[in-house]
Amino acid sequence: MICVDLNTYCPFPGESGNIRKAMDWLLKQNLNELVKGRYSIEDDKIFALVSEYKAKEIKDCQYEFHRKYIDIQVLIEGHELIYVTPLSSIDTLTEYDKSRDIAFGNAVNGSKIETVIMGVGHTVILYPEDAHLPGIRIEGYEAIVKKIIIKVAVE
């Protein structure tokens, strides 16, 4: 997992070419003008999904993980928490859905869990080894969130 602010982002050592292409695309967009939907950046290798939703109570969220894609998640509007734990700390609840590149699970007791506080412009890069629980409502903040998730094929 890597956390950056989109406004101060600069390439990092070891950054893959696909991540660089995704970040270049992001930096060229007026994120506030993007509407819900899918945006092709490089066929199925790199694409963006813009969504709007209501952040939920933690009890209503589940950890998810992916195998084929890295997630680059950027908050456009609102606030939310994302919990991140190593994939090795997850008890899988659902069978991996290859067509959707997703499975769900719960963190085992005693897992090391990182908390990422997401506000406008905050960006988190989540690798296949990073199980993540996104969309958690932050008490005292409006629950409506607009987010862009760029799916970057693992090279």
Residue 21's domain comprises 2-153
Confidence of residue 119 (pLDDT cuts 50, 70, 90): very high
Counting the structural domains of the chain, the total is 1
Q: For a pLDDT cut of 90, what percent of the chain falls above it?
A: 85
What is the spatial distance between Cα 131 and Cα 142, in angstroms, rounded to a whole number?
A: 25
Backbone angles phi, psi at 59, to 5 degrees: -65, -20
For range 118-130, the mean pLDDT? 96
Q: Tens of pLDDT along 69-82?
A: 999 999 999 999 99
Q: Tens of pLDDT along 11-56?
A: 777 778 899 999 999 999 999 999 999 999 999 999 999 999 999 9
Whether the full predicted model's pTM is greater than 0.85, yes or no, is: yes
What is the spatial distance between Cα 7 and Cα 98, in angstroms, rounded to a whole number?
A: 34
- CATH number for 118: 2.60.120.370
